Amino acid sequence: MNKLHAIIIDDEKHCAETLEWQLSNFCPSVELIGMYSSPIEGLAAIKKLNPDLVFLDIEMPKMNGFQLLKSLDEVNFGVIFTTAFDQFAVQAFKVSAIDYLVKPIDDDELQLAVEKAEKSNRKETGVSVEFLLEQMQEKKLSNRVFLPTLNGLEFIDKRTVIRCESDSNYTTVYFENEDKMVISKTLKEFEDLLPERHFFRVHHSHIVNLLLVQKYVRGDGGHLVMKNGNIVPVSRAKKQLLLEYLQQN
């Protein structure tokens, strides 16, 4: 039996390595020929290696899974998304020829998805990608991100984030409605998930939503007063660039 040549594209190393182990132990029909943490590298690998199957994360910095597929002239391989989305999105996946696995991935669900990929018509995949891009309303979803919290995984709307504060390997995210959430990502990792146009790292420990800044108070570096009254320090090195960004917004 011919094996399916597969690659994994996922910016979360531990997720990719876990999936690699699962494929090795539960999916003998799959031969893994590459693992990529960068969507740019993954895109290049697809063009070079011509895989039969791609395990593709959706939420990644710089380019998400949908954007990656959209940048290809042709999708002539099977696609299994490895992420989590809301119920509406799940329904969109269910009526397409593209499969979808929720992290952490269940062994039995993985086996079923691989079996489906073995039987699928590659010509249908391209049509399904177009269908999904329409159904998922990519512009709407671009404002949402799926994040690992201390209690599991959760969706947030980026527009409701007022500021983010570093806490070692975690980030505390503060929202307009006074809620807050601890995310198991560093501030640098979180910075990559937020749109540069509206979010700015004003200090090594702080990122703010420029649209929710109430005023800037001058000083050595100065500080910001946010819409909810929070005070956020500004580093001297970021002061001038911040003022330029504020004027643009």
- Based on the fold, state whether residues 127 and 183 are members of the same structural domain: no
Are 158 and 125 members of one domain?
A: no
Give the residue numbers spanning the domain of 214.
154-248
Residue-level pLDDT at 49: 96
Q: Which two tokens stand for residue 71?
A: 């940048």
pTM more than 0.85: no
Burial of 18 (0-12, 13-18, 19+ CB in 10 A): middle
CA dihedral (109, 114, 119, 122) positive or negative: positive
Helix axes 107-119, 13-26, angle to 10 degrees: 70
How far is CA 80 from each of CA 19, 32, 65, 113, rounded to the nearest angstrom? 12, 14, 11, 7
Cross-sheet strand order for the sheet of 231-233: 213-217, 223-226, 231-233
Structural domains counted in the chain: 2
Nearest to 233 by CA among 132, 170, 163: 163
Per-residue pLDDT of the chain (249 residues; tens, 9 = 90+): 689 999 999 998 999 999 999 999 999 999 999 999 999 999 999 999 999 999 999 888 888 888 898 888 888 888 898 876 554 455 556 545 567 888 889 999 999 999 988 887 666 676 667 666 665 554 455 566 666 666 666 767 888 899 999 988 889 999 988 889 888 788 887 787 777 778 899 999 999 999 999 999 988 889 999 999 999 999 999 999 888 888 776
Is residue 105 a part of any domain in this protein?
A: yes
